[in-house]
């Protein structure tokens, strides 16, 4: 095999965020841009010689071309075996499972998750380590360091690989295995959930459903599992064909972007259950007939009912949530007398806890939930969890949610996103907040008295690593909270997120509309951060 060494110059913007490197497609299409970053990853790994690598993506624009480039760079860097999803497709949780099942050294996942796709939109790439989870900071910091000093990359001069035919392709000592992207994942789900019970309940008509794949990666997975294996009617999975531009939509499973599904679920024709997943299949939105389940509540309800699911019927070791996620799961953990961990945002922070057996379930308010079955959040897994729960209890989504609130209380919760904020303005808002922190504890703002105000720092209980500057928290004596974060998942400007939460123990008040119940906190958040005043915006881009 002929290996070519190509001289190159560093780019100054290849610092990975919480979920890898995300840029506009045209940035990745620059000469040497993708090549530099992939080579920087491989240069950072302890040993690529003879290693096995999993590779696939969500099918967005530039996915297939990028995969061919990565195959050739991997071959040139000594990898002996690549496992690739047919058509270059793999959901993020399915990639995590393949890494673990095949004991691969790691994997490259090509996705910008819930960001739009197309020639003028977003692309992304991240490295997952041998446990199947996203690379921790010690890895991504080294990727960035290498990207700043790179002077050459290596690439094999071989023909493009046939991505569409399953089976093995051999080039000298270099082997590429093309696998059906759904098979192994579907087998795993069948081991966790009671498929015969779910199938019986669906076929009897006790559960009717609609799953919106948003023209993203979970379409083939949901068609196979929900329609073929579980017996849902053909057409129960909508927008099922993955498209490079996601059909012109925004593959983010929330009430704003999954509008077709939301309109159906809040109509007189609503089925009993509705759900959606995102671009790469790791996020989920859960709805019932005329009810939306917040991701924070969903995690808490899963934890409270895990013993009803075959894969978790022996109990759960503990739970974890990202810091901005509501404290609903904390209350469940206290009742179950299990550990509950508060981590920074980013799935990689759950990895050590899962590997150490400290937790079984984990989740983030940003529509991500998961367990120890893989090391990524898993959208379709969460949907199947809820279907199993509905089948086992015979209750509606609304009944399950209200029963949970009556037992544990309701954490009324909302997130306000201000997207594409000028970075200088966004940093100015955070500097303004930081300046106030020392003086806030003890202050009264109407009915709110500040109990604490800080910038969240996390020390990993497994390896002792410390992650600082993970968001600003302001807590009040009545248990209410507000959190301010700059998100690292966008590609233009900054996304400023404001999280608002108050606890309501009175069942008579638990059905309040969140925006009404949180109105005083919303006003106070503006008073403290001045985002509307400083940006000139009247409302958030998205409210969830």
Place 399 in a pLDDT band, splitting at 50, 70 and 90: very high
User: What's the DSSP call for residue 217?
Assistant: T
Cα dist. 286→185, 247, 278, 290, 291 in Å? 21, 22, 12, 11, 9
Residue 82 has pLDDT above 70, yes or no: yes
Q: Which two tokens stand for residue 462?
A: 């497994």
Identify the pLDDT of residue 491: 57
Identify the pLDDT of residue 488: 57
| Beta carbons within 8 Å of 225's beta carbon, 6+ residues apart | 182, 186, 189, 380, 384
Mean pLDDT of 105-121: 96
Identify the pLDDT of residue 494: 87
Mean pLDDT of 280-293: 97
The Cα–Cα gap between 303 and 286 comes to: 15
User: 184-408: which CATH topology?
Assistant: Alpha-D-Glucose-1,6-Bisphosphate; Chain A, domain 3 (3.40.120)
Residue 490 has pLDDT above 60, yes or no: no
Residue 400 has pLDDT above 90, yes or no: yes
Largest CA-CA distance found in the chain, in angstroms, rounded: 73
Residue 492 has pLDDT above 80, yes or no: no
Phi, psi of 236 (to 5 degrees): -65, -30
Burial class (CB in 10 A: 0-12, 13-18, 19+), 371: buried
The Cα–Cα gap between 130 and 100 comes to: 7
The Cα–Cα gap between 528 and 431 comes to: 12
User: Is 113 labeled as catalytic in the residue annotation?
Assistant: yes
Are 391 and 209 in contact by the 8 Å Cβ rule? The answer is no
The Cα–Cα gap between 526 and 317 comes to: 39
Residue 439 has pLDDT above 90, yes or no: yes
Are 279 and 123 in contact by the 8 Å Cβ rule? The answer is no
Q: Give bridge partners of residue 411 from the DSSP assignment.
A: 503
Residue 291 has pLDDT above 60, yes or no: yes
410-543 homologous superfamily: Alpha-D-phosphohexomutase, C-terminal domain (3.30.310.50)
Cα dist. 146→16, 39, 40 in Å? 12, 9, 5
Residue 354 has pLDDT above 80, yes or no: yes
Mean pLDDT of 59-64: 98
The Cα–Cα gap between 222 and 97 comes to: 17
Sheet of 339-343, strand order = 339-343, 318-322, 361-364, 368-371
Which residues of the chain does CATH 3.30.310.50 include? 410-543
Mean pLDDT of 61-69: 98
Burial class (CB in 10 A: 0-12, 13-18, 19+), 533: exposed
Identify the pLDDT of residue 18: 75
Mean pLDDT of 170-179: 97
Phi, psi of 332 (to 5 degrees): -65, -45
H or E element, residue 147: helix 137-149
Place 544 in a pLDDT band, splitting at 50, 70 and 90: confident
Cα dist. 414→20, 231, 383, 426 in Å? 26, 35, 21, 20
Mean pLDDT of 352-369: 96
Residue 489 has pLDDT above 70, yes or no: no
CATH architecture of 3-181: 3-Layer(aba) Sandwich (3.40)
Tell how strand 318-322 and strand 339-343 pair up.
parallel
Burial letters 165-188, b for 16+ CB under 10 A, else e: eeeebeeeebbbbbbebbeebbeb
Phi, psi of 129 (to 5 degrees): -85, -175
Identify the pLDDT of residue 182: 98
Place 147 in a pLDDT band, splitting at 50, 70 and 90: very high
In 294-417, alpha helices (H): 295-305, 328-336, 348-355, 379-393, 397-408
The Cα–Cα gap between 507 and 401 comes to: 12
The Cα–Cα gap between 242 and 235 comes to: 15
Percent of the chain with pLDDT over 90: 94
Average pLDDT score, the chain: 96
pTM value?
Answer: 0.94
The Cα–Cα gap between 363 and 366 comes to: 8
Query: Which has more pLDDT, 138 or 236?
Result: 236
CA torsion angle 421 20 135 169 (round to 10): 160
Residue 321 has pLDDT above 80, yes or no: yes
The Cα–Cα gap between 128 and 348 comes to: 9
* Of residues 542, 514, 306, the one with CA closest to residue 413: 514
Mean pLDDT of 330-345: 97
Phi, psi of 126 (to 5 degrees): -140, 155
* Of residues 18, 13, 16, 23, the one with CA closest to residue 469: 18
The pLDDT tens digits of the residues spanning 8-44 come to: 999 999 999 878 999 999 999 999 999 999 999 999 9
Q: Could you say which of 113, 277, 322, 326 is catalytic?
A: 113
Which residues of the chain does CATH 3.40.120.10 include? 3-181, 184-408
Percent of the chain with pLDDT over 70: 99
| DSSP SS3 for 295 | helix
The pLDDT tens digits of the residues spanning 124-133 come to: 999 999 999 9
Residue 297 has pLDDT above 70, yes or no: yes
* Of residues 455, 355, 284, 283, the one with CA closest to residue 136: 355
């Amino acid at each position: 095999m002929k290996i070519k060494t190509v001289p190159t110059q560093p780019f100054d913007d290849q610092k990975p965020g919480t979920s890898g490197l995300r840029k506009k497609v045209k940035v990745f299409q620059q000469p040497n841009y993708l090549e530099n970053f992939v080579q920087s990853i491989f240069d950072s790994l302890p040993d690529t010689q003879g290693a096995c690598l999993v590779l696939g993506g969500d099918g967005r624009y530039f996915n297939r071309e990028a995969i061919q480039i990565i195959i050739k760079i991997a071959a040139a860097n000594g990898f002996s075996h690549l496992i690739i999803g047919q058509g270059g497709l793999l959901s993020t949780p399915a990639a995590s499972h393949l890494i673990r099942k095949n004991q691969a050294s790691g994997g490259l996942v090509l996705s910008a998750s819930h960001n739009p796709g197309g020639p003028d939109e977003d692309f992304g790439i991240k490295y997952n380590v041998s446990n199947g989870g996203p690379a921790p900071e010690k890895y991504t910091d080294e990727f960035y360091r290498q990207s700043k000093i790179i002077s050459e990359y290596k690439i094999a001069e071989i023909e493009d690989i046939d991505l569409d035919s399953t089976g093995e392709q051999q080039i000298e000592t270099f082997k590429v295995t093309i696998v059906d992207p759904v098979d192994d994942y579907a087998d795993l789900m069948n081991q966790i959930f009671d498929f015969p019970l779910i199938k019986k309940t669906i076929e009897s008509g006790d559960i009717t459903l609609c799953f919106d794949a948003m023209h993203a990666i979970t379409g083939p997975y949901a068609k196979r599992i929900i329609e073929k294996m579980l017996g849902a009617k053909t057409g129960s999975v909508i927008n099922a064909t993955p498209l490079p531009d996601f059909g012109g939509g925004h593959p983010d499973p929330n009430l704003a972007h999954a509008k077709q599904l939301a309109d159906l679920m809040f109509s007189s024709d609503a089925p009993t259950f509705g759900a959606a997943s995102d671009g790469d299949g790791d996020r989920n939105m859960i709805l019932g007939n005329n009810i939306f389940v917040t991701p924070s509540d969903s995690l808490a309800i899963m934890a409270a009912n895990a013993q009803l699911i075959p894969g978790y019927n022996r109990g759960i070791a503990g739970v974890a949530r990202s810091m901005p996620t509501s404290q609903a799961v904390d209350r469940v953990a206290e009742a179950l007398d299990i550990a509950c961990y508060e981590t920074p945002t980013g799935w990689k922070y759950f990895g050590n806890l899962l590997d150490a057996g400290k937790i079984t379930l984990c989740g983030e308010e940003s529509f991500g939930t998961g367990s120890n079955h893989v090391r990524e959040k898993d959208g379709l897994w969460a949907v199947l969890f809820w279907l199993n729960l509905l089948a086992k209890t015979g209750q509606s989504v609304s009944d399950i949610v209200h029963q949970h609130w009556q037992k544990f209380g309701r954490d009324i919760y909302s997130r306000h996103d201000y997207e594409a904020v000028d970075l200088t303005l966004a940093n100015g808002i955070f500097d303004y907040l930081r300046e106030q922190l020392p003086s806030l504890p003890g202050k009264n703002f109407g009915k709110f008295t500040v109990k604490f105000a800080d910038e969240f720092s996390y020390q990993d209980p497994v390896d002792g690593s410390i992650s600082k500057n993970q968001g600003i928290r302001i807590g009040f004596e009545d248990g209410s909270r507000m959190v301010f974060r700059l998100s690292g998942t966008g590609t233009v400007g900054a996304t400023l997120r404001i999280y608002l939460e108050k606890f309501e123990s009175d069942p008579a008040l638990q059905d309040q509309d969140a925006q009404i119940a949180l109105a005083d906190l919303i006003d106070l958040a503006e008073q403290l951060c001045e985002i509307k005043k400083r940006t000139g915006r009247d409302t958030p881009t998205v409210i969830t």
